[in-house]
Structure formats: C-alpha cells, structure tokens
Amino acid sequence: MNPVVEVSDLCKAFGGLQVTRSVNLRVEQGERHLLIGPNGAGKTTLFNLIAGDLASSSGSITLMGKPVTHRSTAARAQIGLARTYQIVTLFGRDSLLHNVKLALLGKSPLRHRHWGSLDHDKTLSDRALEVLASVGLSDKAKLPLEQTSYGEKRRLEIAMALAQKPQVLLLDEPLAGLSSEERETITALLRDIDRSITILMIEHDMEVALAFADRVTLLHYGEVITAGTRQEVVADPRTREIYLGH
C-alpha cells in the first residue's frame, strides 16, 4: 500500500540552528499516527513543513502519491491536506457561521468570485450549518466567535478542517488547554472521524493519545528516535528516558 504522507530525509535549519534532522516518516491510508516528543523536539516544525507553511532546507515530501516539496500551502490543501494549529487561528469578530463559510470556500469554485455577499448563498449557508451541527454548534451559528468558550473554538476549528473533505488531517495539540469535560467532547469527536481520513496528531495527553493512535513516532532534537506501533514505542527504553520519564 502506498503511503498518503511520506517524508524522506527532511531537514530544516534556521541559520545555524538545525531544527529538523533527516526525518523519515510514513503514514498509511486511514492510519491514526501520533507524533510525540519533549517541547522543542521539532514536532510543530515538521507539521509546518508537511503543510507548506515552511520551506524545507533539504529532503522531500509526498502527499497522496504526489511530490509537494516545492508546492504552496494552498496547492497542498487542494490535493487533500487540512490542519489545525496549536494556537487557535480563527476570525474572532465574525460569526461561527461565517468562519465555516470561509473554510468551505477554500476548495469551492466560488473562491474565484470577487463580488456578492456570502450571506445570500443559500447552498453555502446550508452546508455551513450542517458542519456546525456535526459538532453540536448549530445553535451558536450567529454568535461572534469571541463570545464562545475555548473548547467551542477548538470544536469549530476541527469542524472547519473536516469541512474541506481532506484525505489527511494534521491536528496540532487538539486537547491543549481544555477542561476535563471539553477534552471528553473533543476526544469523542476525533474518534468519530471516518477512517477514510488519515490523521497525524501531536498531543501531550498520553493516556488519550496512545489510546487513539495506531502508530507512534518519537522526535527529539529534530530527529526520529523510534517509530512503530504504540506498544513498540512505549516499550522502547529510549521513549521512557526521553519522554515518558519512567
């Protein structure tokens, strides 16, 4: 089976600082793959390289069998990649509905239309309401985003990524900063995502993350230390020494 994400000898340096060192990563269709490592291990940098938010210094990236190393973030999204960020990046003064509409436009022919109001497009509005309903937020559709809780913003961000019908979803610490109740809600949402969507996730809550993951990759100082099934990686003494601490 061909991987949907393949990273080969990927390096990234900022001047003399080597952040990513010859990383190799292979993620199969439908897999739930977890990236772990201490702060500063290079996990988010790797996400930024895969998504196209950063240009690599060397190495290659393939998505859905297509070489994308030198392609833009927008081009990678068109191929089927979507992501969330460690820090929520949404339009706070706009309504939840408008935020979702903007996400839907990303892969719609309507994005090339530079006139008219989104408010008058019933098809787009109906689809956006469906997206909000899928994460239990349809009753807050008209609210400005800044009037919602942090957990609701996290749910909205995941819903907006899924609205683009991605083949690969990158989740950067989706549970960070949430209350226990909010964590349960987001965890249930992630478990319900169809296996037609491949998930690569960074998460520090090991109990939840390891229960979710099929395979795990441990990064340290920008290098892959070990990779394999969750049982193999947890049992590796290097994982206990570098990350789990026991």
pLDDT tens string 70-81:
999 989 999 999
Residue 112: the pLDDT is 44
The tokens describing 16, both together, are 């003399």
Q: Is the pLDDT of residue 109 over 70?
A: no
Our measurement of the distance from residue 31's CA atom to the centroid of its chain's CA atoms, rounded to an integer in Å, reads 13
Residue 94: the pLDDT is 84
The per-residue DSSP string of 54-106 comes to: S--SEEEEEETTEE-TTS-HHHHHHHTEEE--SS----TTSBHHHHHHHHHHT
User: Angle, nearest 10°, between helix axes 150-163 and 96-105?
Assistant: 30
| Contacts of 157 by beta carbon, 8 Å cutoff, 6+ apart | 84, 85, 88, 89, 90
Handedness of CA 165, 171, 175, 177 (dihedral sign): negative
| Contacts of 63 by beta carbon, 8 Å cutoff, 6+ apart | 4, 5, 50, 76, 79, 80, 81, 168
Residue 65: the pLDDT is 93
pLDDT in tens, 66-108: 999 999 998 999 999 999 876 566 766 788 888 888 888 766 5
Q: Is the pLDDT of residue 171 over 60?
A: yes
pLDDT in tens, 126-163: 888 998 988 889 999 999 888 999 899 889 888 888 88
Radius of gyration of the chain (CA): 18
Nearest to 75 by CA among 52, 104, 57: 52
pLDDT in tens, 3-56: 999 999 999 999 888 999 999 999 999 999 999 998 889 999 999 999 999 999
Chosen CATH of 5-80+166-244 out of 3.40.50.10300, 3.40.50.10420, 3.40.50.300, 1.10.10.60: 3.40.50.300
Count of Cβ atoms closer than 10 Å to residue 165 Cβ: 12
Q: Is the pLDDT of residue 115 over 50?
A: no
The residue extents of the domains of the chain are: 5-80+166-244, 94-153
Q: Is the pLDDT of residue 185 over 50?
A: yes
Residue 196 is inside which H or E element, if any? none
Nearest to 98 by CA among 70, 120, 77: 120
Residue 103 vs residue 187, higher pLDDT: 187
**Is this prediction's pTM over 0.75?**
yes
Residue 244: the pLDDT is 72
Report how far residue 115's alpha carbon sits from residue 45's, in angstroms, rounded to the nearest whole number. Answer: 37
| Contacts of 88 by beta carbon, 8 Å cutoff, 6+ apart | 150, 153, 154, 157
Report how far residue 212's alpha carbon sits from residue 209's, in angstroms, rounded to the nearest whole number. Answer: 5
pLDDT in tens, 200-235: 999 888 888 888 999 999 999 999 999 999 899 989
Interstrand relation of 5-14 and 58-63 (parallel, antiparallel or unpaired): antiparallel
